[in-house]
Amino acid sequence: MFTQTIEAVGICKTPYQQKFGIPRQPGLVEAKGQIRLTGEYNHLDFVQGIEQYSHLWLLFSFHENLEQGFKAKVRPPRLGGNEKIGVFATRSTFRPNGIGQSVVKLEGVRFESNQVIIDISGMDLVDGTPILDIKPYLPFSDSLPDAQAGMAQESPELCEIVFNDSCLTQLSQMYKGEELKRLIEQVLAQDPRPAYKKNKPDDKQYFITLDKFNIGWQVIEQCIVVFSIELIKA
Ligand code: SAH
């Protein structure tokens, strides 16, 4: 049997501090992040010429799930979390080898304090995710508009987001408040709740951490209402 040892080439910094709330695919939320190259890969030689591409493929480790291993059959959220299908027929994070892949937008490359930083946006990765490889996205080959995707043909429906008055005031007085508001809106519009919770009465208060903020929200009549935004103390 073939085996190969893999070493990370970098670490991804993102606003997503925990798995709950991260979009289920890339490109759904415009959040900004960075790839910081590590070890012997932290050299501009490795990224020379990369600026000519608008998008990159990231291969990464689902490192937070590796310990839990994998199952041959999984319940994808798209099927309401009830039906099981083969793991290779899904983008499940519990898979043999635990490797994820995402297309992200390339925003730029910098070299600061001896650190190669690749600025990206649109990623669906948790903060600290090990990056295994980076490749340019090639539209002539990678973009297949006629491809069939069964139950996942369309992007998921978006939920309406409402902020209560105190959150709106808070955001309007905050440095980069508009940016944070857009991030919260786009993240919550995906309705991060487990599939079985949808279309049922649900009075639970949920919390997600985005950047340095803990966001409290609740579903009221099919609408997501943001009721608190708290700065997390270091
Ligand atoms: N686009 C990728 C990932 C899809 S699943 C692919 O198709 O391979 C996206 C989910 O992965 C996110 O919602 C988040 O919950 C989870 N995730 C992101 N980074 C992770 C990590 N480092 N370890 C485990 N799960 C992670």
Query: Ligand 1, closest atom to CA 63?
Result: 23
Q: Which of 62, 129, 193 to mutate to test the pocket of ligand 1 (most atoms within 8 A of CB)?
A: 62
Residue among 5, 8, 24 nearest 16 (CA):
24
Running DSSP on this structure, what letter comes out for residue 170? Answer: H
Atom 5 (ligand 1): residue with closest C-alpha? 24
Q: pLDDT of the chain along its 234 residues, tens only?
A: 999 999 999 999 999 999 999 999 999 999 999 999 999 999 999 999 999 999 999 999 999 999 999 999 999 888 887 899 999 999 999 999 999 999 999 999 999 999 999 999 999 999 999 999 999 999 999 999 999 999 899 998 999 999 999 999 999 999 999 999 999 999 999 999 988 888 889 999 999 999 999 999 999 998 999 999 999 987
Correct CATH for 10-142 of 1.20.210.10, 1.10.287.90, 3.80.10.10, 2.40.30.70 = 2.40.30.70
Q: What is the pTM of this model?
A: 0.96
Residues 6 or more apart in contact with residue 63 via CB below 8 angstroms = 98, 128, 129, 130
Q: Is 77 exposed, middle or buried (0-12, 13-18, 19+ CB in 10 A)?
A: middle
What class is the 160-231 domain?
Answer: alpha beta
CA angle 182, 120, 217 (to 5 degrees): 30
Query: Ligand 1, closest atom to CA 23?
Result: 13
Q: Which of 16, 124, 133, 188 to mutate to test the pocket of ligand 1 (most atoms within 8 A of CB)?
A: 124
**Domain positions in the chain:** 10-142, 160-231
Q: Is 199 exposed, middle or buried (0-12, 13-18, 19+ CB in 10 A)?
A: exposed
